[in-house]
Amino acid sequence: MNGIFCVFEGIDGSGKSTQSRMLYEFTLNHGINSLLLHEPTEGFFGKKIREILKSNTLPPVLQQIDLFIKDRHDDVELNIKPALTRGDVIIMDRYFYSNAAYQGGVEFDAIDIIKMNIDEGFPLPHRVYFIDILPQEAMDRIQLRRNGNIELFEKIDFLTKVRDNYLKLIDDRFLVINGNRDINEIHREIKDDFLKLLKIHGRIM
């Protein structure tokens, strides 16, 4: 039995991490073998990425992309491929769509970064839950949560560019979700779609 791969995407402050955890807990409560992953990972390259995010300067864009791809290679080989082979459900907080949305710009278009990742042979998800909110709302949430301490990517102009990149990437794998609602209402929409996804792939609850 092949597994099911669900990815959560959105700009910082969108609530995607909360929603990915809620779906994960739903699967556990219903006896579904599932795995909750996130990028950057806790591995060697993931830690280097996290160090960069906490610094005041960024390396060149190509170097950033390279670090994310190396981190993703480790994650795919160690976690994603084995879980899919077992027939598990993978719930992923950020994947290569984030890489494209955040690093996409003048040097490398977001769609070109997606192609780079596909050329690496990384598995495509069955569903991308894109939690969409406006950048100003995102900044309000971030500042409240971090008590004014923000990371390198957490600036309204930058988040506006990131959201625009995400909107360019939407295809039939995406479910675009209005993130300006109660978290339980958002969860219900995701859960309903997830249950349909299970049925499509012959998984009956």
Assess whether pLDDT exceeds 90 at residue 204. Answer: no
Higher pLDDT, 195 or 143: 195
Q: Are strands 174-178 and 34-38 parallel, antiparallel or unpaired?
A: unpaired
Give CA torsion, residues 175, 163, 93, 149, to 10 deg: -150
Q: Output the pLDDT for position 99.
A: 95
Average pLDDT over residues 44-73: 92
**Cβ atoms 34, 90 nearer than 8 A:** yes
From the number of C-beta atoms within 10 Å of its C-beta (0-12, 13-18, 19+), residue 143 rates as middle
Average pLDDT over residues 150-165: 80
Q: Output the pLDDT for position 57.
A: 81
Assess whether pLDDT exceeds 70 at residue 135. Answer: yes
**C-alpha–C-alpha distance, residues 84 and 89, integer Å:** 7
Average pLDDT, the chain: 92
Q: Output the pLDDT for position 17.
A: 96
Q: Output the pLDDT for position 85.
A: 95
Q: Output the pLDDT for position 205.
A: 64
87 torsion bin: left (phi>0), alpha (psi -120 to 50), beta (else): left
Going by C-alpha positions, the residue among 194, 162, 143, 177 that lies closest to residue 15 is: 177
Assess whether pLDDT exceeds 60 at residue 149. Answer: no
State what percent of residues in the chain have pLDDT above 90. Answer: 78
Average pLDDT over residues 118-131: 98
pLDDT band for position 151 (50/70/90)?
Answer: low
Q: Output the pLDDT for position 148.
A: 53
The crossing angle, in degrees rounded to 10, of helices 110-119 and 61-75 is 40
Read off the tokens for 29. Answer: 């409560």
Going by C-alpha positions, the residue among 127, 167, 117 that lies closest to residue 11 is: 167
Assess whether pLDDT exceeds 60 at residue 134. Answer: yes
Specify the pTM: 0.93
Average pLDDT over residues 145-161: 71
Which positions ≥6 away from 59 have C-beta within 8 Å? 52, 67
State what percent of residues in the chain have pLDDT above 70. Answer: 94
